[in-house]
Amino acid sequence: MQGKYLIVGLGNPGKEYRLTRHNVGFMVIDHLIHKFKIPECNKKDYSLFQYPDDLFYFIKPMTYMNLSGEAVSVFLETHDFLPENIIVFHDDKDIEFGRIKTKIGGGCAGHNGVQDLVDHIGNGFVRIRIGINNQRTRDGKQLRDYVLEDFDQRELRVVDELIPFAEDFIYNISEYGFSKAQGILHTGK
């Protein structure tokens, strides 16, 4: 185990956004807290879920996607994490639907929630980018409308199949570090 980890899922609060493409980060956090039966501690700016061993903290910013950095920075005022131990799950419009890619730092590719995180906490955090680019459902739609549209039933099944990979990545990064965890995710070994 390489320290304590802050796991952030980006999304928008409210049931009207629950199944939208932009909320795939929230979906990952929801799956993990449900699976491990982690109790919720609601704050003004974020929902906090703390795994009993105090090594994993899970946050869903309640400030809406484009202000996610504000909520995370409020939490970090009273908690200290190494940048590489902050793991952020978010949608990525440039990655093929059903794929996951990881990286540390880099550009934000027009993702306002990620940009707000960079603006508030810096650029050294781990990004788990979940692809939402599906030409079958995207054709002719503006990006804003597309990301705020619900996944269809077929897409939801694929998302449900991806979430265990996200869970495994969290375990692997805490055990082996980012590079090895990234290799395991992309090669299955």
The pLDDT tens digits for 15-49 are: 999 999 999 999 999 998 888 888 777 777 777 77
Q: Catalytic: which of 22, 31, 79, 186?
A: 22
In the annotation, is 186 catalytic?
Answer: no
118: domain CATH number is 3.40.50.1470
Domain that holds residue 104: 5-187
Locate 8 and state its tokens.
Answer: 């952030």
Locate 157 and state its tokens.
Answer: 């099944």
Q: What is the pLDDT of residues 44-64, one digit of tens each?
A: 777 777 776 668 889 999 999
- Number of structural domains found in the chain: 1
Please give the backbone phi and psi of residue 152, each rounded to the nearest 5 degrees, phi first: -80, 175
57: left (phi over 0), alpha (psi -120 to 50) or beta: beta
**Tens digits of pLDDT across the chain (189 residues):** 467 899 999 999 999 999 999 999 999 999 988 888 887 777 777 777 777 666 888 999 999 999 999 999 999 999 999 898 999 999 999 999 999 999 999 999 999 999 999 999 999 999 999 999 987 777 788 888 999 999 999 999 999 999 888 888 888 888 888 888 888 887 765
